[in-house]
Structure 1
Amino acid sequence: MKTLFHIGLFIMAFTSCQKAKNTPIDKDMSAPDPVSDVSVTNTSGGAQISYTLPANKNLLYVKAEYTVNGETKEAKASFLANTITLEGFGDTNEHDVQIYAVSRAEKVSSPVVVKIKPLTPPVLKVRNSLTTKTSFGGFSVEFRNDDRANVVIIALKWDEGLKEWKQIDASYTALDSGLFKVRGQDSVMQRFGLVVRDRWNNLSDTMDFQLKPIYEEQLDKTKFVDIRKKYPIPQRDPLPKSGAKMIEAVDYSSSYPMKNWYDGNTGSMFHTKQNVDQPIWIPIDLGVKANFSRYKIWQRNGGFVWGHGNPHEWEIWGTNTPSDVNSWILLDRQIMVKPSGLPNGQNSNEDIDVANAGQEYEFKEGLPAVRYIAWKNIDCWDAIGGATGFFHLFELTLWGQQNK
């Protein structure tokens, strides 16, 4: 009985293996007829091709073959559609495209050759939109990207010794418009360049220009001192919605002290107590008097970006006499804007990248030099407009011109 049983299993296994053998999904090995009545609608960096499908019952899909930057590309559309979309062209030249009908047995028809002439591609549109402006430690680049294409704007500096361009910065974006800032450059007349590249490695020509960045230096954070509880808190609008007096920031625990906020480490955190009245007042002695140019902050990350106690709306105040509550002047006011505009709790890849890279804000020109500043946290992302909330950040960095 066991022998018969084992023989039966062997036959079943052999039969199963035989059935698993790869065979064409259709026994009709004839090639389908080609598509007909082909028409072309040129688009930005591509084209949309419409056609009439052949009547063959074994038709599975239609494919288009074309060349981009010397590489053969393929686009496909199922037998349920009568259009196929091509993209990735970096010019407005005329290009040949071969259209094939493909059967279920992967037999292809004879090609139908059509010519397309793409409209101005996004990589060139973005390049043509670029404008620059001299800024502190570098320059700013304003751009438009009406197609919301995935592009990278690359900043270059001319190396006179090597007689070649060197990359100094880059900004990846799919936003319809924005501002890209290049920093860390000496305050001397220099030659810079900008190019735009897309995901098909199409590259624009170089925007060549010269400018002299405005002088600035990063303030020495080792001189920063926590002066909470040392001076009175000015009670100025906006005041807490609870009706209470504005309070100073109180540490959540000894694990997240205020010194973490300016220790040069974008991975350590300052964290206040939770469910306290908003706004929260956080004064700092910078150790030097300076005219400020800009500052940069790093949100708490690890799943908390654009949420939790990260700041949503805030002000920065300054004075040289912190003991006088009437001497504080407003230096800056901001409402943090999420690039994607998605609701709280939903973040795009760009949202996460922007937060992790740090967010930069410029001070207005003409502000007086001050030694003492205070961060007035009006609300946080998890308590927008609320009466209570809390505050945390990984790092704060300031730039400007010190008064000698």
Structure 2
Amino acid sequence: MKNINKYSLQLFLGLLLIGIISCKRNDGFSTSPISTDKTKPGVVTNIKVDNFNGGSYITYTLPSSDNLLYVLAKYSIRDKVARETKSSYYKDTVEVNGFAESKDYQVTLYAVSKAEVMSDPVTVTVHPKTPVYQLVRPSAAISADFGGVNVKALNPLKRDIGVIVTAFNDVTKSMEVEEQHFTKGDTIDFSIRGFKSTSRDFGVYITDEWGNISDTLKKNLTPLYEELLDKSQFATYTQPSDDELYEGGGWTVNKLWDGSTDDPGWHTNSNSTPPFTCTFSVGKTYKLSRFKMWGRKGFEYGHGNPRDFSIWGSNKTLPADAALPITAPEGTVIGDWTNLGNYHWPAPPSGLPPTAINQSDKDFFNQGAEFNIPFNAPSVKYLRISIAKTWSGGTLAHIIEVSFYGKPE
């Protein structure tokens, strides 16, 4: 159940390593003694403070000294947690950050020479605005979802935060961390799965890159029942507007549910045009909760693997064909078909362009990608996958395997 996004976690831990373990900041200059002049530098003067969320900019006039190397700021961000920030003599401002609350804090400034001789201390009072993790916390909400819970929050300043989800563990008889979701996105909306449909205590709290932690939102929730749809009940339901299939190598629609994430799967012919579409029945009516899709190995983030696509559904008896648009808003109804959701395959975690991915990107791609069906989507018996754009932007599309989850009706 501990479904931690390891790529986001690595990024966030990198920030923690800089911000907490070292507790120091270096603005690109050496701090090794490079002078034998032991003259004590003068103090900074004309100090001004500009407060922001969780921190402050402190501007000053540097002392007149040819031997000056940097200005050092010492301060505590919360009880028993001290930090140091350094700013080069090329600058007239030092940034102090990571404060746990919006209140008065004392910051001590030192001018430091090239021989590492410190000036007399100068103390300034800062009063940072409300830290971001505290701004996010009131917007946090947790609700029952299929197989688990859904968490929502708003991060309007788009700063790095962690949304931590806890749940009562039946073995340890205590609240345990089940998910660590690190992001700087402005809208947070994710679900954690793998829980039985029984009452359980859940909690959500917000943290930041300096280890500050908010209070915990606590709720007793009962996850909604879901099951993996029985693929033995799936059946091809080809429509006139569906794309013709690639004729070589056994690429057929029913390969989408044969249980294999290796070739072959579903593959259009090479002169198709978007949207690339296939249609099938799932055997009986379901209130869908989520699905997982696997692309073609060896062509990660390329060729006919889906980039932008939609899922359409119908609960009609033998729904009639309809030519689907390349894109349409969620909830759009065309004939017997409703757009259940629009999706974008996650980009390479490395940040590299799709044409220059590394092995970690390939490994991530080949794990498959999971997507949620909106909670208000109608129940369906028939599905259409409609690909608006592939990673190559070409004239063919392919998918190797899909798995759907939901509640039978």
For normalisation by structure 2, the TM-score amounts to 0.73
Say if 1:105 and 1:393 are closer, same or farther in 2 by CA, change over 3 A: farther
* Residues 259-308 of structure 1: CA deviation (Å, up to 9, x unaligned): 77446666878462544233223233434443323323355688844986
Aligned to 2:275: 279
Give the structure 2 partner of residue 62 of structure 1: 71
Unaligned runs of 5+ in 1: 1-22, 236-245
Give 1:336's match in structure 2, choosing from 330, 341, 344.
Answer: 344
The match for 1:50 is 59
Q: Does 1:41 align with 2:50?
A: yes
Q: CA deviation at 1:200?
A: 1.5
Corresponding position of 1:18: none
User: Which residue of 1 is the match for residue 239 of structure 2?
Assistant: 233
From the superposition, tell whether residues 106 and 262 of structure 1 become closer, same or farther in structure 2 (CA, over 3 Å): farther
Does the aligned pair in 2 maintain the 1:138–1:183 contact within 8 Å?
yes
Q: Say whether residues 1:158 and 2:164 are aligned partners.
A: no
CA RMSD of superposed structures (Å):
3.8
CA spacing shift, 1:171–1:181, aligned 2, 3 Å: same
Task: Give the aligned partner of residue 140 of structure 2.
Answer: 130
**Matched-pair contact (CA < 8 Å) for 1:65–1:73:** yes
- Match of 1:399? 405
Which amino acid in structure 2 is aligned with residue 367 of structure 1? P
What does residue 153 of structure 2 align with? Answer: 143
Residue from 306, 311, 314 that aligns with 2:307: 311
| SS of the residue 1:248 aligns to | coil
Residues 215-259 of structure 1, C-alpha deviations (whole Å, 9 max, x = no match): 2222134x26563xxx54243xxxxxxxxxx423437756x8767
What CA distance in whole angstroms lies between the structure 1 residues aligned with 2:154 and 2:356?
22
**Hey, what does 1:17 align to over in structure 2?**
none
CA distance in 2, matches of 1:348, 1:209: 41
Contact 1:65 1:72 in 2 (8 A): yes
Q: How does 1:95-106 map to 2 (within 5 A)?
A: 95-106=105-116
For 2:378, the equivalent position in structure 1 comes to: 367
Letter in 2 for 1:37: N
Amino acid of the residue matched to residue 389 of structure 1?
A: T
Match of 1:240 in 2: none
Q: Structure 1 residues 324, 47: closer, same or farther in 2, change over 3 A?
A: closer
**Structure 1 residues 123 and 294: alpha-carbon distance in aligned structure 2, compared to 1, 3 A threshold:** same
TM-score by length of 1: 0.74
Task: Give 1:397 deviation, angstroms.
Answer: 2.3
Are the counterparts in 1 of residues 238 and 280 from structure 2 also a CA contact under 8 Å? no
The number of aligned residues is: 358
Counterpart secondary structure, 2:85: strand
Could you tell me how far apart the structure 1 residues matched to 2:202 and 2:307 are?
35
* 3-state SS of 2:392 partner: helix
Q: Deviations over 1:300-340 (max 9, x none)?
A: 68884498632313342346755964795335241528789
CA gap of 1:96–1:396, structure 2 versus 1, over 3 A, is same
**CA separation in 2, counterparts of 1:45 and 1:252?**
60
Question: What is the distance in 2 between the residues matched to 1:97 and 1:264?
Answer: 61
Letter of the 1:278 counterpart: P
Indicate if the aligned counterparts of 1:318 and 1:331 stay in contact, CA closer than 8 A. no
Q: Which residue of 2 aligns with 1:199?
A: 209
Report the alpha carbon displacement of residue 369 of structure 1 after superposing the two structures with TM: 4.2
SS in structure 2 of the partner of residue 128 of structure 1 = helix
The separation in 1 between residues aligned to 2:296 and 2:235, in whole angstroms, is 20
Change (3 A) 1:116 1:368: closer
Q: Which residue of 2 aligns with 1:16?
A: none
C-alpha distance in 1, partners of 2:72/2:357? 32
Partner amino acid, structure 2, of 1:391: A
2:388 paired with 1:378: yes
- Whether the 8 Å contact between 1:94 and 1:115 is mirrored in structure 2 is yes
CA distance in 2, matches of 1:400, 1:369: 10
Change (3 A) 1:143 1:363: closer
How far the C-alpha of 1:378 sits from its partner, in A, is 3.3
The higher radius of gyration belongs to: 1
Residue deviations 1:180-216 (CA, integer Å, cap 9, x gap): 2222333333321101121221111111122333222
